[in-house]
Amino acid sequence: MNHLLPGFESQERVALLLSLTRISSPEMIAALTLHYTSALPAERAAARHGIELSNFMRGQKKLEQIAATVEAIKAIDWAKLQSNPLLTSPLQPKQVA
């Protein structure tokens, strides 16, 4: 399952996800960012930054794995939030007698 949609990701989100990887090549970072923020096809994003398509795909796979982990953590947090009535119910004003 793809968690990242080319053309629909913010530059900040891609940068944060990349910070969780060991990807350090400026060209690879630029190509992945371009692909996910502008919907430029993978082949063109890789070529524009001088990256072999196979290397780009490897970086893309790693970024998807990180995004899947982040989404799994968010799902756990959301379930925990939903099961806690103190966090889901609106605050009730104190009754004054």
Q: Where are the alpha helices (DSSP H) in the chain?
A: 11-19, 26-38, 42-48, 53-83, 85-88
**Residue 96 carries which DSSP code?**
P
> What confidence tier does 84 reach under pLDDT thresholds 50, 70, 90?
confident
The pLDDT value given to residue 81: 86
Collapsed DSSP state (helix, strand, coil) of residue 60: helix
Structure confidence by residue, pLDDT tens digits, 41-70? 999 999 999 999 999 999 999 999 999 999
Q: CA 8 to CA 15: how far, in whole Å?
A: 14
Tokens of 73: 């953590």
What are the boundaries of each domain within the chain? 11-83
For residue 94, the one-letter residue type is K
**Residue 95 carries which DSSP code?**
P
